[in-house]
């Protein structure tokens, strides 16, 4: 009788213990999924880019259109540096579309092949102390201003999570086609969600940029000024591993060129589409 009593007491004890453990497991809240944060890390990559633009000018009730389109390949090596990172950017090749050369000569095109540019990169992606080889011509430097200086989207210094929004203002000085142009861009960014892009997990960042530009220069012996405004929509992708994975953007701007000596005003409208795709 004592044996049977002890046996059932042990059974009850085990049952209560198991029941208590099970209740604890059932009542325990699941661990929250880790929050992914996109931050730049050292990386090496090869990109293929395409840039297409059309400039329309109206003068004496006549409209003229100029197309400029090209494909380029870019090598980027981002390594640890004094500030945060140090970037070496090489334009391996640039190929102009024959129907949209916009007056660029073969000599100018040849001067770009293998052009090397270097810059310090802050942890949030801002390129500073941008330098190029002294032997590079003006066309290579124009492409650097157009493509390389704004290469990386500016992130918050602590990184960015999905659902985060932020803004920045960028002031740049660009020399293109004899025009010394100052551009001030106000950029509103929104990190939408983590997606699969270029075969890796990536944070999709949508940016709307409102910008103004003004400058002056000389063409065909005529002094002129240029002022206007524009809007750009950009979609960029930052990999979970800290690599920049590329972008696509669409840009529209309107301005006025003033020929000061002739007292003429020429309205100008430009559309532009750019894409950058990382290689496998």
C-alpha to C-alpha distance for 70 and 97, rounded to whole angstroms: 5
- What domains, with CATH codes, occur in the chain? 43-278 (2.30.230)
Cβ-in-10-Å burial (0-12, 13-18, 19+) of 192 comes to middle
C-alpha to C-alpha distance for 167 and 210, rounded to whole angstroms: 11
Cα–Cα distances (Å) from 211 to 26, 142, 172, 180, in that order, read 56, 19, 11, 16
pLDDT score for 12: 37
List the helix and strand counts (H, then E) for the chain.
Answer: 3, 11
C-alpha to C-alpha distance for 121 and 242, rounded to whole angstroms: 14
Phi, psi of 198 (to 5 degrees): 55, 40
pLDDT score for 218: 84
C-alpha to C-alpha distance for 129 and 119, rounded to whole angstroms: 5
C-alpha to C-alpha distance for 208 and 269, rounded to whole angstroms: 19
Condensed to tens digits (0 to 9), the pLDDT of residues 21-60 reads 334 444 555 555 566 899 999 999 999 999 999 999 987 7
Q: What is the pTM of this model?
A: 0.83
pLDDT score for 35: 62
pLDDT score for 62: 82
pLDDT score for 20: 40
Cα angle, residue 179 at apex, residues 175 and 181 outer, rounded to 5°? 65
pLDDT score for 226: 93
Are 198 and 237 within 8 A, CB to CB? yes
C-alpha to C-alpha distance for 242 and 164, rounded to whole angstroms: 17
Residues of the chain with pLDDT below 70 are 1-35, 134-135, 177-178, 280
């Amino acid at each position: 009788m004592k044996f049977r009593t002890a046996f059932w007491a042990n059974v009850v004890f085990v049952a209560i213990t198991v029941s208590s453990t099970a209740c604890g497991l059932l009542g325990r809240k699941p661990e929250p999924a880790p929050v992914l944060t996109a931050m730049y890390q050292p990386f090496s990559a090869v990109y293929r880019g395409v840039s297409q633009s059309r400039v329309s000018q109206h003068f004496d009730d006549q409209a003229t259109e100029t197309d400029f389109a090209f494909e380029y390949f870019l090598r980027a090596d981002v390594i640890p540096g004094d500030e945060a990172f140090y970037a070496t950017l090489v334009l391996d090749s640039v190929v102009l579309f024959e129907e949209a050369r916009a007056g660029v000569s073969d000599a100018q095109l040849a001067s770009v092949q293998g052009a090397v540019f270097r810059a310090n990169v802050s942890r949030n992606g801002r390129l500073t102390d941008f330098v190029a080889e002294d032997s590079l011509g003006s066309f290579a430097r124009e492409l650097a201003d157009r493509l390389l200086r704004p290469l990386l989207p500016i992130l918050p210094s602590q990184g960015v999570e999905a659902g985060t929004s932020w803004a920045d203002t960028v002031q740049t000085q660009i020399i293109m086609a004899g025009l010394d142009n100052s551009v001030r861009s106000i950029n509103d960014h929104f990190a939408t969600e983590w997606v699969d892009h270029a075969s890796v997990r990536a944070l999709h960042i949508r940016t709307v940029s409102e910008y103004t530009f003004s400058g002056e220069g000389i063409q065909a012996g005529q002094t002129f000024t240029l002022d206007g405004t524009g809007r750009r929509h950009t979609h960029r992708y930052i990999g979970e591993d800290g690599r920049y994975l590329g972008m696509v953007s669409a840009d529209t701007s309107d301005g006025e060129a003033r020929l000061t000596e002739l007292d003429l005003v020429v309205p100008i409208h430009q559309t532009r589409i750019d894409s950058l795709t990382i290689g496998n």
